[in-house]
């Protein structure tokens, strides 16, 4: 697999959020499309502009756009990572299903699960 692609009203704005959150570099950028690459290689994260994008609802409901994918991101310090993501424009989800995991939504609503692996 080369990458996971997230739709957004503006690919460049959402890519900037994830570039800051993850510290990854832009690999490719063109109108309506951005690719981020992790240091050292591996599957990246891409963003495409979707003019008909609808913000996903999490947790899912029958009457709203359901999420199609969510990202699990391992961090070394969960409270600090949550604070950093919030400062970048993420929001804390109302529903938190697990201790030790914090569910946030990126600026356009894609869920992100931040967690610190137990030793």
pLDDT score for 69: 78
> Quick check: 39 pLDDT over 80?
yes
Burial of 115 (0-12, 13-18, 19+ CB in 10 A): middle
Provide the mean pLDDT of the chain: 92
119 pLDDT band, cuts 50/70/90, is low
CB count in 10 Å sphere of residue 76: 8
Q: What is the pLDDT of residue 1?
A: 84
pLDDT value at residue 58: 73
């Amino acid at each position: 697999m080369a990458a996971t692609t997230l739709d957004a009203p503006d690919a460049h704005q959402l890519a900037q959020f994830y570039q800051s959150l993850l510290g990854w570099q832009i690999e490719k950028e063109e109108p309506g499309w951005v690719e981020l690459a992790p240091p050292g290689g591996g599957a990246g994260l891409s963003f495409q502009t979707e003019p008909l994008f609808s913000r996903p609802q999490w947790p899912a409901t029958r009457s709203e756009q359901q999420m199609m994918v969510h990202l699990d991101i391992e961090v070394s310090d969960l409270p600090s990572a949550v604070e950093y993501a919030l400062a970048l424009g993420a929001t804390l989800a109302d529903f938190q299903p697990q201790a030790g995991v914090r569910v946030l939504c990126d600026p356009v609503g894609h869920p992100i699960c931040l967690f610190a692996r137990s030793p």
